[in-house]
Structure 1
């Protein structure tokens, strides 16, 4: 069976050694899975550990929480249960806590967590940037403004023609005004006002239709 030290093992997993080491430390602390050790106490990782690590990596890439991943591991692998010494002698032996070492371990874990979170945030940010549209050049923006102006002018012309036809269909008494004792002429002020109001009333709707905003 092939064994790896943490540096080579992490390369096979595709993660930082601190991240991988942190996973297996938590697995051991939770009595879920243990890592083999040499006679000198050095951790060595085998093919089972590699399968477990790749599974964790895959689920982390899918944004699974570590707790959920750890809970699923026994359903997929024959895990190596940590050896627990339950002897009364060991249980009653006073334990000396190295507070400095404990503090350093906590700081290391916190640093690893921050690095992992920063990496995930960076990946999400880069993915978001990829989805953003490419910025338009000044020439493209100018061309778009010109096209909008042309479109608006064309629609206003069409609406003006529609208004003129509707005005022409109105009864003569609405369109004409007295210009003397025996002469009547078109009320141009009233006509122009009718056309302006017609354009104002329908322009926004026609623009939305033109630019597919409805």
Structure 2
């Protein structure tokens, strides 16, 4: 509809028909665009709403409608339309392009950094609180360990081991002595024929059978008697 010689103009009702809104809506949008800095032509007769719309104005209104359909306010729609128009009309040098990209990237990066920081904080703060609690428990354990007596030296451990071995040997000897005495007593309580053998014209003690009887008796009752002795020693230690 444009050519190099003649400019084609539209009336308000023509613009309204092509955009799909009423005349009043188009005039209200025109006022918002004018307030935002966009310049419309007016006819020479001069009325406040006496606009002469060109083809590029039609494109402006169509873009305005797109933003309006996104539920932006009228002033916001006007600002965005003019911003889009300036981007198209204003040439961007390589240096300006880089600067704009840098600013946009910086703004995006800052937003992403803040978002990541919030996400990390939500995840990290409970972990840090738990870690702090565990560290406090470790410190308490360290303080308790400081109050404990120092561990025995290697020489002290060897000395205690030697004393325990001597004690066990003494207890074992005492237990076996007592069991031997009991076994001997039980042996002599047996009938004479069971514990003696006849050689020539007299009966003598069967020492081999006697020793086997005593040894079996000691083996059978040794662990039980040993445990009793240790229990008695433990009870004595508690009473002290």
TM-score w.r.t. structure 1 length?
0.46
Q: Normalized per residue, which structure has more helix? A: 2
TM-score w.r.t. structure 2 length?
0.42
